């Protein structure tokens, strides 16, 4: 009888340790997602901060492309105003498109492309877009890991018990400024 009780107690302790381990794993995965999201936020902020400067510089050489400038400014304002990941991704993608147009325009102005300030901005923009892409990649990897832990047995049982909620992937596109730095330094 004593042995039987001892076995039961040991089993209970084992089950509790296992549950705590699984719970901690899920919590850690969720914290990683939050950290990754904070990083995306920082990088998008950097992107938004860069745009007025970029628009002003281009304006100096191509003042009559007013339509594109307005489009970029409006897209930026919208991206700043929304919060939820889904809407934010949509707004940021709108901004990506507008930025792409702006960069396409700059191709027609050789004086602008030779401007030292603009070249500096181009490196900054390339860097910013890469930072956005990098933080997005890390965020999505963190969500994938959390999702796996949430759906795979045995942690799925604990996820169900403690209500570990669904997390969204963040699909935001970035402007290809790949060639820019090399071209601009020629």
Partner 1 sequence: MSAGSLYDELQRENERASRFLLIGSVLIAAVMVWVVAGALGVPVLDPLVGVSVTAVGTAVGLLFLLAAMRSGPSIALRAAKAREVPREAAPELHNLFDEVCVSAGIMGTKPKLYVVDDPAPNAFATGRSLEDSHVAVTTGLIERLPRYELRAVLAHEVAHILNDDIRTVTLAVATAGLVALLADVLVRFMIFGGGRRGGRSSGGGGGGGAQAIFLVLGLFAMILAPLAAQVIRFAVSRQREYLADATAADLLRDPQSMVNALRRIDEDHTSLREFEVATAHLWFEEPNDTKAENSAAKMARRFATHPSIGERVERLATLNAGTVATDAPLPPPPPPESRGYL
- Residue pair 26/149 in contact (Cβ under 8 Å)? The answer is yes
Q: Is the Cβ of residue 86 or residue 137 nearer to partner 1 in the bound state?
A: 137
Say how far apart CA 17 and CA 134 lie, in whole Å: 36
CA distance to 12, 103, 106, 120, 158, per residue, from 65 (Å) = 72, 12, 10, 22, 57
Q: Is the Cβ of residue 17 or residue 183 nearer to partner 1 in the bound state?
A: 183
Provide the minimum distance between the beta carbon of 119 and partner 1 in the complex, in angstroms, as a whole number.
10
Provide the minimum distance between the beta carbon of 132 and partner 1 in the complex, in angstroms, as a whole number.
9
Which of 130, 115, 128, 133 has the alpha carbon at shortest distance from 56? 115
- Residue pair 177/148 in contact (Cβ under 8 Å)? The answer is no
Q: Is the Cβ of residue 106 or residue 122 nearer to partner 1 in the bound state?
A: 122
Provide the minimum distance between the beta carbon of 64 and partner 1 in the complex, in angstroms, as a whole number.
32
Q: Is the Cβ of residue 98 or residue 149 nearer to partner 1 in the bound state?
A: 149
- Helices (H), ranges, 60-154: 66-81, 85-106, 110-114, 116-151
Q: Is the Cβ of residue 101 or residue 138 nearer to partner 1 in the bound state?
A: 138
- Which residues bind to partner 1, rule: CB under 8 A? 32, 35-36, 39, 43, 123, 127, 130-131, 133-135, 137-138, 141-142, 178, 181-182, 185-186
Say how far apart CA 160 and CA 58 lie, in whole Å: 53
Element (H, E) at 54: helix 2-59
Provide the minimum distance between the beta carbon of 133 and partner 1 in the complex, in angstroms, as a whole number.
8
Provide the minimum distance between the beta carbon of 86 and partner 1 in the complex, in angstroms, as a whole number.
22
- Residue pair 148/142 in contact (Cβ under 8 Å)? The answer is no
């Amino acid at each position: 009888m004593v042995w039987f009780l001892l076995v039961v107690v040991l089993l209970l302790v084992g089950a509790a340790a296992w549950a705590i381990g699984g719970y901690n794993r899920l919590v850690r995965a969720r914290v990683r997602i939050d950290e990754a999201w904070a990083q995306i936020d920082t990088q998008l902020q950097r992107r938004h901060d860069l745009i007025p400067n970029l628009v002003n510089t281009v304006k100096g050489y191509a003042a009559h492309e007013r339509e594109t400038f307005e489009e970029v400014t409006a897209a930026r304002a919208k991206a700043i105003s929304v919060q939820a990941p889904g809407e934010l991704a949509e707004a940021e993608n709108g901004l990506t498109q507008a930025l792409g147009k702006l960069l396409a325009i700059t191709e027609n102005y050789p004086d602008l492309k030779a401007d030292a300030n603009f070249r500096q901005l181009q490196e900054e923009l390339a860097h910013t877009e890469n930072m956005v892409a990098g933080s997005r990649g890390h965020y999505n990897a963190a969500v994938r890991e959390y999702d796996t832990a949430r759906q795979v047995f045995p942690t799925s049982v604990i996820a169900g018990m403690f209500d570990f909620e669904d997390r969204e992937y963040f699909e935001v596109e970035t402007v290809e400024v790949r060639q820019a730095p090399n071209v601009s330094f020629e």
